A and B are shown apart, each in its own frame.
Chain A
Amino acid sequence: MEAVRTGEQYVARQRAYRLMLYVLLAAGCAVMLLPFFWMLTTSFKTEAEALRIPPQWIPVSFRWQNYIEAWNAAPFGWYFFNSFFMAITTTIGEVFTTILAAYAFAKMRFFGKGPVFAILLGTMMIPGQMLLLPNYVTIQRLGWYDQYQALIIPWLVSVFGIFLLRQFFRSVPDELRDAARIDGCGRFRFLFTIMVPLSKPAIFTVALLKFMGSWNSFQWVLIMTKTATMRTVPVGLQLFSSEVGTAYEKLMAASVMAIIPILALFLFTQKQFIQGVARTGIK
């Protein structure tokens, strides 16, 4: 055992300890935020400022033209349209298929329920990259290569979403359904007028994760499309980067534009977003 410390020593030690914690936290935040800060300031610099060493932390004057020049240097209009189109349609579609499937697993009795659910969970262990190649062949044979179908239809289902929503649906008491049925409410109507509104937080989580995943997806789009007007923002940005050479200020302006939609979504829905992601860790 340590000797008993006097009150003053204890307070001093506590204070030093807390100071250390703050220093650690501040250092961590600085490391995490520095790349974003650097991206943002560089996007407003002139080319000479962007490449200056020692670094120019804040540009002398803010060059908004970088954004316009970057936007015009590549078909960013198409990239953004495609990204939004893909993210919104896959999100809506996935929410719909997920609600239906999760309801069947949570509230219906049917032949083969246990085995089918187990097989679905098993598919979560298959690495997507292994499926990329046979899927590429399938997409080619279906004639969907370089078409919107290839970007959207395979992504309309998520087993993880079904799993998450099933857990939520199961917590809704069965009495509610029985009461609704006695009042003459059909299964389908019950699902969409009672279950869905009750499960808004879980559905919102599924939708957010999907939107984010769609917006950020890269490898699939890279493989399944070839014309510039079919590319999405991440793939377009990668192409742009190999064209601009050392014009880092334009590249950073384009990167900031690619981040803004997700950042806005995140800042407006921060609480649900973080809770949703945290929920992915609770099995």
Chain B
Amino acid sequence: MRRFGIIALALLVGSVAGLAAQKITWMSTQFVPIAEAEFVRNEILAPFAEATGIEVEFIGAEYAEFVSRVEAEYEAGKGEIAVLCGLHGDFVSVLDALADLSEVSPGGTISDTLMKLGQMAGKQAYIPLMQATYLMVVNKKALDYLPEGADIWALTYDELLQWAKNIYEATGVQKLGIPAGPKSLLHRFIHGYLYPSFTGYQVLAFDSGAAVKMWKYMQELWQYVNPAAPTWDAMDTPLLSEEVWIAWDHTARVKQAIVERPDDFIAIPSPAGPAGRGFITVLAGLAIPETSPNPDAAAELIEYLTTPEVQVKILQGVGFFPVVAEAAGAVPSGALQILAKGVSAQAASPDAIVSFIPGGISDEYKKIYKDTFFKFVIKGEPVDVEFLRSQATRLRELYLEAGAPYPAPDGG
């Protein structure tokens, strides 16, 4: 009965949309908070309607609503929704219902790394729209101590170690900062940065030989990490007080430091390990359902949303970073420009290994990564393979219990 109702509604709205050809509906799991939705309607969609004559109706939706509606329209073979916006994981759930966007051209240059993430089930399932990530922020004073030959835009973990060591030997102070407090995002650093960079995976190689090397590396690096690190939840304050000169954290958690002193800081990509440059991308994209009533207008909207100007607007309005290379240069000077440059460089790294945040499993996985760090790094106990093995078993159990796929780069 409910399905029939949806079909009837879809048919009705579909025919109405057919009459007023240039009105399309955009359903999104992003920009859902009222303030953000208003921003999108007034600042992004209103100018688009003026320029193209295409009126876009924006509908915010929760994940469950998003999936059930897209599936219902797909099964009905006819739909009302013309464009979709969601996180990578949202699209994975409705892959069949999405049209191939190989022919749709974005309004700017999107790096291959990001574009490829949108390629699933043999098609370009979505076009990346915006990203959030974690990177390194550096006080310019630290640049004097950079090891010879190191490129700050393509740093390796070995160079980071040498760099922190240089600073320590010259100043007598541990100026490297990793947020390791109880409410920090340390687990992201471990599963999304360290593990992929050293082992190529965030789950599958948890207890591998490469992982043992990685933990030994961390023990060495930790000597040059500020000893107050286990009390820090975010790195903006220690950066501002100059307790640290080099710090890793989420963009939102370092932003305040750069806002207050934009001339003192630069944002750079996270380092690369033996396997590559592991980093987390929270990636949102745009898709067109197979049943879109107006795929041409939808493609036009996608092109518009991926132009550098609109990408910058999104950054300023909701804090998500551009995926388009040209946008980083188009951000007005200040904190956002500094961060955008770093985010953009990280996303465009040729040796990138993109990690996704685990979804659908118990939050206990965070504890598994953090506990291992606590034991080997903070407590400094010798790296114990037996312990790694038992933690790895528990980690895999969590995925098994939830029936969830391993996140990229491992699979899924």
Q: Do A and B come from one complex?
A: no
B residues lining the A interface (CB < 8 Å): none
